[in-house]
């Protein structure tokens, strides 16, 4: 049986599948050529990340396709329910990249509160001629310890991010419309374990209490954060979106930064990927990355292994 990993697959997944007798194809097929390629090669499993879209045209016209797999969490690039209605199994790896995204959130937060996103731009340009000026400009950093992190969306990634915050000595407040409480387990290097019970509160209360906001929700039809929500936040708050483009109103964000309401923000995802708005790219108060939340060696290894295990188990039980 053939597996097409159209957006790539970690070695752990390739090895696992090949040991089980699958043929793994790592060709990157253009979207407009994908339907023909799947049929010509009689592909049984199509694996994608965020780049490839799997819509009704593919689902309806690929009779050999048994599984569509998404390496990661969000599956808004796949017509999931339609595929399942047509008898195609859809799988993903919701837990594999949680900690990687959480660490990226804090990479941005640490950078923002110490102006690293600006300093790393300006030191190469004028560090030799305006060293003392830059030192003065970046001398008013703040610490994360003792501050309040507000988490919007308290699923796996939101909880993983909360764990990092708790480890740093932050207070965590969370909102999730589907969850009343969660018990977080923090395990340390010496195997000591500490448990924290976090009860969710209203979105409005999270926005009012938090010094820092981090968004961890699936794709939405409407903004989760727009002008109304920015107005509720503390003056000088920070916000990070490492969830999905389109859940945060980028125009409202820029206005909130320009007014001083928001001190700084970080974006790993954008409304117009892969061509973000130039006003975002040139804004000195934004810390930016190109959708790399799950892009760590460890996360990709976990994703590959989990996909391989699910595929092998499916065909073992559906002979």
Collapsed DSSP state (helix, strand, coil) of residue 264: strand
- Whether residues 269 and 253 share a domain: the answer is yes
How does 166-182 read in b/e, with b if 16+ C-beta sit within 10 Å?
A: bebebebbbbbeebeeb
- Whether residues 28 and 170 share a domain: the answer is no
Query: Considering 99, 108, 291, 302, which one is annotated as catalytic?
Result: 291
- Residue 317 has a pLDDT of 93
- Residue 114 has a pLDDT of 98
Q: How many residues does this entry show for the chain?
A: 319
Q: Nearest-5° angle of CA 90, CA 174, CA 226?
A: 80
Q: Indicate if 49 belongs to the active site.
A: no
Q: How far apart are CA 222 and CA 238, in angstroms?
A: 21
Query: Considering 205, 271, 273, 277, which one is annotated as catalytic?
Result: 273
Sheet with 212-215, strands from edge to edge, namely 171-175, 148-152, 212-215, 237-241, 262-267, 286-288
- Whether residues 82 and 180 share a domain: the answer is no
Here the CATH number for the domain that contains residue 48 is 3.40.50.720
- Residue 73 has a pLDDT of 85
- Residue 319 has a pLDDT of 76
Q: How far apart are CA 47 and CA 69, in angstroms?
A: 5
Number of domains in the chain: 2
- Whether residues 185 and 231 share a domain: the answer is yes
- Residue 145 has a pLDDT of 98
Q: Indicate if 216 belongs to the active site.
A: no
Q: What's the whole-model pTM score?
A: 0.91
What single-letter DSSP state applies at residue 180?
A: S
Query: Considering 244, 250, 302, 306, which one is annotated as catalytic?
Result: 244
Weakly modelled stretches of the chain, pLDDT under 50: none
Q: Indicate if 244 belongs to the active site.
A: yes
- Whether residues 131 and 238 share a domain: the answer is yes
Domain extent, residue 197, equals 98-288
- Residue 297 has a pLDDT of 96
- Whether residues 249 and 221 share a domain: the answer is yes
- Residue 74 has a pLDDT of 83
């Amino acid at each position: 049986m053939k597996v097409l990993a159209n957006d790539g697959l970690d070695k752990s997944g390739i090895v696992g599948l090949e040991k089980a007798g699958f043929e793994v194809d790592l060709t990157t097929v253009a979207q407009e050529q994908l339907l023909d390629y799947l049929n010509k090669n009689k592909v049984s499993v199509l694996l994608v990340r965020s780049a490839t879209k799997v819509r009704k045209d593919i689902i309806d016209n690929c009779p050999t396709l048994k599984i569509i797999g998404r390496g990661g969490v969000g599956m808004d690039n796949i017509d999931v329910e339609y595929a399942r209605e047509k008898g195609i199994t859809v799988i993903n790896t919701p837990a594999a990249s949680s900690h990687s995204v959480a660490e990226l959130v804090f990479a941005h937060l640490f950078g923002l509160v110490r102006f690293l996103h600006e300093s790393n731009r300006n030191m190469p340009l004028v560090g030799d001629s305006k060293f003392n000026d830059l030192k003065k400009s970046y001398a008013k950093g703040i610490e994360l310890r003792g501050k309040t992190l507000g988490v919007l969306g308290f699923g796996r990634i939101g909880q993983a991010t909360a764990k990092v915050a708790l480890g740093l000595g932050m207070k965590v407040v969370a909102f999730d419309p589907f969850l009343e409480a969660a018990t977080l387990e923090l395990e340390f290097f010496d195997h000591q374990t500490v448990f924290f019970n976090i009860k969710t509160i209203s979105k409005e209360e999270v926005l009012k209490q938090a010094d820092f906001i981090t968004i961890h929700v699936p794709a939405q039809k409407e903004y989760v954060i727009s002008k109304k929500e920015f107005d509720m936040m503390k003056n000088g708050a920070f916000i990070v979106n490492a969830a999905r483009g389109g859940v945060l109103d980028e125009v409202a964000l820029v206005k909130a930064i320009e007014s001083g309401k928001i001190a700084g923000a970080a974006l790993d995802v954008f409304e117009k990927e892969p061509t973000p708005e130039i006003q975002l790219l040139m804004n000195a108060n934004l810390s930016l990355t190109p959708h790399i939340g799950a892009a760590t060696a460890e996360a990709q290894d976990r994703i590959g292994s989990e996909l391989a295990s699910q595929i092998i188990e499916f065909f073992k039980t559906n002979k």
